[in-house]
Amino acid sequence: MPEAPTPYQTRRTRWLKLANHLPAELKDRIAIRNIRAVAGLTAQAQHTLALALDTGLRQASTIRYLQTHPDASLNDLIYHFQQPTNLPTNQPTNLPLASSADILPTFTALILTCFPGWPRSAAESLAQDPMTHELRALLHAWQVCQDSERAHSETFTVLLCGFLVQAAEQLNHSLTTHPNLRDALRTSGVAWPFSQSLSY
């Protein structure tokens, strides 16, 4: 005789059946242990949950909040979880940055792309020079963004693109008002794609 299913297997089967009745925007996005709780949310709260997951908010804590605040909006959730006392205790408030040693090969390759005639030893030296400290920090931040579990979130991606557009506009202003910077860019290996006036 086949073995009787364990209590967990029985619950798991029941939860998976519940998952079939979740709205399409939540299908295959909810952890098994949270399915029953999500199925018990109102339709409005389920929709808000889907939006919250898109922004990168944590699933379990968001579900708990919506259980007691079913009419909460996405803005309500973001405001709530921005408060220091409401941050999940099992998640660090700061994302770890890559160490300098981790970023040096990437930075060296970037330098050689920008200045293709340089010897590798010169690029490696510049990559570690104090004068490029801020650029190393920027590369650290970019790597953290790319490695984040939120990297494929729609809201995260739109905000990141908005940041890059603003950065490009500020650089364009510097290049327009400082001819020496514009000349340096034109003689480098960088193909600047963000301004028609600086086309080669």
From residue 6, alpha-carbon distances to 1, 2, 16, 17, 33 in Å are 15, 12, 15, 17, 16
Q: What is the pLDDT of residue 8?
A: 66
Structure tokens belonging to residue 58:
């944590």
pLDDT in tens, 153-172: 888 888 888 999 999 999 99
- pLDDT score, position 3: 58
Instruction: Judge if pTM exceeds 0.85.
Output: no
- The residue ranges of every structural domain in the chain are 7-86, 100-198
> Dihedral (C-alpha) 140, 142, 147, 152: value to the nearest 10 degrees?
170
- pLDDT tens digits along 54-101: 877 888 899 999 999 999 998 888 888 776 555 444 444 444 444 455
Write out pLDDT tens, residues 8-41: 677 778 888 888 889 998 988 888 888 889 999 9
19 closest CA partner among 7, 29, 9: 29
